[in-house]
Amino acid sequence: MSVVQVPWPPGTECIANYDFQGNADQDLPFNKGDVLSIVAVTRDPNWYKARNKVGRVGFIPANYVQKREGVKSGTKLSLMPWFHGKITREHAERLLDPPETGLFLVRESTNYPGDYTLCVSCDSKVEHYRIIYSSGKLTIDEEVYFDNLMQLVEHYTNDADGLCTNLIKPKLMEGTVAAQDEFSKGGWALQMRDLRLFQVLGRGEFGDVVLGEYRGNKVAVKCIKNDATAQAFIAEALVMTQLRHKNLVQLLGVIVEEQSGLFIVTEFMAKGSLVDYLRSRGRSVLGGECLLKFSLDVSEGMEYLESNNFVHRDLAARNVLVSEDSIAKVSDFGLTKEASAIQDTSKLPVKWTAPEALREKLFSTKSDVWSFGILLWEIYSFGRVPYPRIALKDVVPKVEKGYKMEAPDGCAPVVYDVMKECWHLDANQRPSFRKLREQLEHIRAKELFQ
């Protein structure tokens, strides 16, 4: 019995698996790796009407493209599925049994904390090579140096270079899946050869954010070279594959390069972070209508997360970006998880995080609502830091005694009332993002007709 293919609805993103030159004027030519968006289903199930990244519309053959799908959040993705962490020499030898020449894994060194050990099966026994970490580089023989473990493994896969054998087959850590494979299956793997990198837009402890160009389109690229940090950012990219909304910064794809690390490619937001945008322009440039528009943009993005059972956990003006056409979009999904996930609170920003989240690790959409109230205050104070005259250690005790920040100068009372609703100590009393969006739309409608 044949399976009937359910047509992809308009708005579906797909990625080209092959080049298509087009046979007629109404066809849309594309190259392998291009991202296309379905515009309409046609009468012929073998063809779709689609749009490319520069807005051109035409017909495409269905069997030349692959639907982009979110990577399953339950999947334990790993950039280094052969890395087994802190295990003993004996445990490594058990994992590499039965012996198979070229079977390998990497573990943390038990005798030299901070170093690693490459364990390789060769001629029915296991050889252990110490990987020395020195001055930010990794080396086995103190002749060839690497930026990260991925580079090292790639090198010895291609060439034994003094080892008993080259690395042939990774021993995967139980439960892990190679990140590159999953991103490829979902249609999110991009090619390094199609990416050009230009100036650095920002530097962080994880790596650089760089202005780039992918197939003629401006993009922002997170370039992450450190092994542990790259692994953390894989989790962020995984979340981003599942989220598509006009008020969320969109993931364009992921590049995993053994020689260079991890590259997360997103849409380019020309006007930078909302907090910097507010501070650099101020009251003389940005009127009340503009501030309300930013507030509404964020509420719509957060309503989408709420409806899909995601909690952002780090909502603040610094994590909202502004596009060339002044649309605010929520970004930085590093702490974003499904509502049921547990969170380590040690790295959370105290002044933006709900009291119950800090005290009891109770995260929910309603803790995001608290943060949204703080973000509204940031917007209407033109990027000032919340609780400006209170020491960090005193914020939660004061808030739990009922302290609320005063309305920023010039903030309409109706907007300040929305902020105060977000700061209810009882999380259940806080409004939903849908209700907040409706309230802000009502305020805007009243202002337009005054």
Cβ neighbour number for residue 84 with a 10 Å cutoff: 20
Do the annotations mark residue 222 as ligand-binding? yes
| Cβ 239 vs Cβ 247: under 8 Å | no
Structure tokens that stand for 254 in this block: 């992921």
For residue 90, what are the CA distances in angstroms to 87, 96, 98?
A: 8, 10, 14
| Cβ 210 vs Cβ 121: under 8 Å | no
Radius of gyration of the chain (CA): 25
Q: Is the four-CA dihedral 253, 254, 255, 261 of positive or negative sign?
A: positive
| DSSP-H helix ranges across 186-253 | 227-240
Taking phi first (over 0 means left), then psi (-120 to 50 degrees means alpha), and beta for anything else, what does residue 383 get?
left
| Cβ 243 vs Cβ 308: under 8 Å | yes
DSSP 215: T
Residue 165 has φ and ψ, to the nearest 5°, of -160, 160
Structure tokens that stand for 120 in this block: 């390789």
3-class SS at 162? Answer: coil
Cβ neighbours of residue 103 closer than 8 Å, sequence gap 6 or more = 96, 120, 121, 168, 169, 170, 171
Catalytic residues, by residue number, are 314
Q: Cis (ω within 30 of 0) for the bond into 98?
A: yes
Feature table: binding site for ATP: 222
Feature table: binding site: 222
